[in-house]
Amino acid sequence: MTVLVTGGAGYIGSHTVRLLASQGRDVVVLDSLELGDKSRLGSVPLFQGDINDERIIEKICRKHNITDVVHFAAYKAVGESMDQPLRYYNNNVAGTIALVRSLLSNGVNRIVFSSSAAVYGNPESVPVTEESALRPESVYAETKSVVERFLSSCDAIGLRSVSLRYFNAAGASADASIGEDWSMSQNLVPLVMKAILGFSGPLNIFGNDYPTPDGTCIRDYIHVDDLADAHVKALDYLSTGGKSLACNVGTGKGTSVLDVLNLAEQVSGHKVPYNIVGRRSGDPISVYADPTLIRALLGWKATRDVRDIISSAWNWHERDAAAKR
Ligand SMILES: NC(=O)c1ccc[n+]([C@@H]2O[C@H](COP(=O)([O-])OP(=O)(O)OC[C@H]3O[C@@H](n4cnc5c(N)ncnc54)[C@H](O)[C@@H]3O)[C@@H](O)[C@H]2O)c1
């Protein structure tokens, strides 16, 4: 089995590539490097190019005898997606169609896709199961939902896929060598670290009057190394004949914004400067996963908690900040 990882030089991709390589699996990366960093890849072969480029995919498939694909390559900024729908549909949807066309014509018919819990929008109830209604509320989330449907339709022409609906990916590698760069992300954990380390002003907390125990929004934070492991398990599931599916990747536990700040203060020994500002439109109150399906079908379960996430993120950001100063 040789795995092609698209977007493997990005945040989640690079953690997954490392895990695959550490298990002695053959792995090759295709990344445009528009948002990725090749130094994260060590000695893993990198092809710099675009998922829309059928020639490069054919070349990789032939040279490396690709059998499986993990498809991370996409744009992911929700706000930007609302202003740039053409760019998002083009990269995330048209790009995936081009990729799948090239893969199938080169005999590759197993793919693990980076979907998102954003496909559920503001869920009616929690925990969120895979039976919950799909109600994407941003262009970004629409692109994920459309690709899931596209992949599922391609079952009819021999493709098998696992769409992993990630909840909130966060944290960094245990050796503090790779993590989530705050200049590339609007996610809470890197922004908390940025505020602590003095690279930004106070963190904005969007609303503390939600109907939650401390008034701030609740999310399901999943350690990036646990997420990486879910991809490995999805590859094994497909290679042993598993049927196409879409499933949640979360811990099943909700953590509020203020919980994250408190933990960050405990772990770092520093205060997090913050301001409470108004609610942000479209922010769901509380979203956390029901992870029963992934446990039953892929044998996957999160092994790290939110404290592990914050500690690993702090270790990495502290080191990265020293290099940035
Ligand atoms: N980070 C999260 O919390 C989160 C949550 C849910 C889903 N996802 C999805 O997971 C995937 C990876 O997210 P990430 O946080 O690692 O993002 P990232 O931006 O760090 O990584 C994406 C990588 O894809 C590459 N890329 C983008 N378009 C490309 C193209 N057309 N051809 C080749 N390479 C291309 C970029 O250069 C980058 O290295 C994305 O599909 C994202 O939508 C992320």
pLDDT of 61: 98
Region 229-247: mean pLDDT is 98
| Whole-number Å distance between alpha carbons of 9 and 73 | 9
The answer to whether 111 and 103 are in contact (CB under 8 A) is: yes
Q: Quote the ligand 1 centre to 198 CA distance (angstroms).
A: 27
pLDDT in tens, 55-88: 999 999 999 999 999 999 999 999 999 999 999 9
12 lines ligand 1 (CB under 6 A): yes
Q: Quote the ligand 1 centre to 86 CA distance (angstroms).
A: 17
The yes-or-no verdict on residue 136 having pLDDT over 90 is yes
- How many angstroms from the chain centroid is the CA of residue 126? 21
Q: What is the DSSP string of 130-189?
A: TTS-----SHHHHHHHHHHHHHHHGGGGT-EEEEEEE-EEE---TTSSS---GGG---HH
166 lines ligand 1 (CB under 6 A): yes
pLDDT of 128: 98
pLDDT in tens, 290-308: 999 999 999 999 999 999 9
114 lines ligand 1 (CB under 6 A): yes
The yes-or-no verdict on residue 54 having pLDDT over 90 is yes
Res. 283 pLDDT band, cuts 50 70 90: confident
Res. 314 pLDDT band, cuts 50 70 90: very high
Res. 324 pLDDT band, cuts 50 70 90: confident
32 lines ligand 1 (CB under 6 A): yes
The secondary structure of residue 24, as a DSSP letter, is: T
Q: Is 140 a catalytic residue?
A: yes
pLDDT in tens, 140-154: 999 999 999 999 999
Q: Looking at the domain 2-170+221-249, which fold is it? A: Rossmann fold (3.40.50)
| Whole-number Å distance between alpha carbons of 254 and 250 | 10
20 lines ligand 1 (CB under 6 A): no
**What average pLDDT does the structure give for the chain?**
97
The single residue of 140, 210, 221, 237 carrying the catalytic annotation is 140
pTM: 0.98
State how far the alpha carbon of 248 is from the alpha carbons of 9, 32, 39, 205, 298, in Å. 23, 28, 30, 26, 11
Res. 322 pLDDT band, cuts 50 70 90: confident
Q: Quote the ligand 1 centre to 90 CA distance (angstroms).
A: 14
Which residue has a Cα nearest atom 7 of ligand 1?
Answer: 116
Least confident stretch, 51-60, 165-174, 316-325: 316-325
pLDDT of 185: 87
Please report, as a single letter, which amino acid is at residue 311.
S
pLDDT of 158: 97
pLDDT in tens, 16-27: 999 999 999 999
54 lines ligand 1 (CB under 6 A): no
Which residue has a Cα nearest atom 13 of ligand 1?
Answer: 12
Q: Looking at the domain 182-219+252-288+304-324, which fold is it? A: UDP-galactose 4-epimerase; domain 1 (3.90.25)
- SS3 percent helix, strand, coil of the chain, rounded to 5, is 45, 20, 40
The answer to whether 250 and 220 are in contact (CB under 8 A) is: yes
Task: Among 37, 41, 76, 173, say which to mutate for ligand 1: greatest number of ligand atoms within 8 Å of CB.
Answer: 76
Region 116-122: mean pLDDT is 96
Res. 3 pLDDT band, cuts 50 70 90: very high
pLDDT of 281: 82
For the chain, the first-to-last Cα distance in angstroms comes to 42
pLDDT in tens, 81-115: 999 999 999 999 999 999 999 999 999 999 999 99
The structural domains of the chain, with segments of one domain joined by +, span 2-170+221-249, 182-219+252-288+304-324
